[in-house]
Amino acid sequence: MKLKKQFADFYKEIKIDEEVEDLKEKREVLQGDIENKLPNELKKYGIDLKKSEIKIFDQGSYKLNTTISNDYGSIDRDVAVMFPLNIVKNSDPRKIKAYVRDALKHQNRTLDIKEPCVNVSYIENGEEWMHIDCCPAN
């Protein structure tokens, strides 16, 4: 029983509490931007996408309720962004991630294309305090 209590105490120490509402708010804003801006961004490249075809869902530690604060003071949420694409015509995932990045451009965000995702960072006092990874998939 002692080990269970030690684990519970440890988990209370590392889990996020206050940031949960911030994560929810930022994810809702990103979802709205993806749904409203991505179809127009893709249209520039001859790709037709309806808002109703975009599926967005949580994955990773946030979905499993295991999100913790890390040593860098930043919190993280992983979001999958799914939409249909002709993979013959759109075979370069780097281009697709660039389209998602361009749809998410906003003055209060820093955007980077990472290997699997578009990383949306939120900076406060010169430090990243939260980021959401948007992972395009089809």
Q: Give the relative orientation of helices 93-103 and 19-43 as an angle to the nearest 10 degrees.
A: 110
How far apart are alpha carbons 55 and 11 in whole angstroms? 32
Which domains occur in the chain, in start order? 2-137 (3.30.460)
Question: Which pLDDT score is estimated for 4?
Answer: 85
Copy the structure tokens of residue 92: 């370069």
E strand map for the chain? 55-59, 75-82, 110-113, 118-124, 127-137
How far apart are alpha carbons 60 and 79 in whole angstroms? 8
Mean per-residue pLDDT for 12-29?
73
The pLDDT confidence band at residue 36, using thresholds 50, 70 and 90, is very high
The answer to whether the beta carbons of residues 34 and 134 sit under 8 Å apart is yes
pTM (predicted TM-score)? 0.75
The predicted-structure confidence for 48-104, as pLDDT tens digits, reads as follows: 999 999 998 887 666 666 555 555 556 677 888 899 999 899 999 889 999 999 999
Question: Which pLDDT score is estimated for 66?
Answer: 59
**Counting beta carbons within 10 angstroms of the beta carbon of residue 76, is it exposed (0 to 12), middle (13 to 18) or buried (19 or more)?**
buried
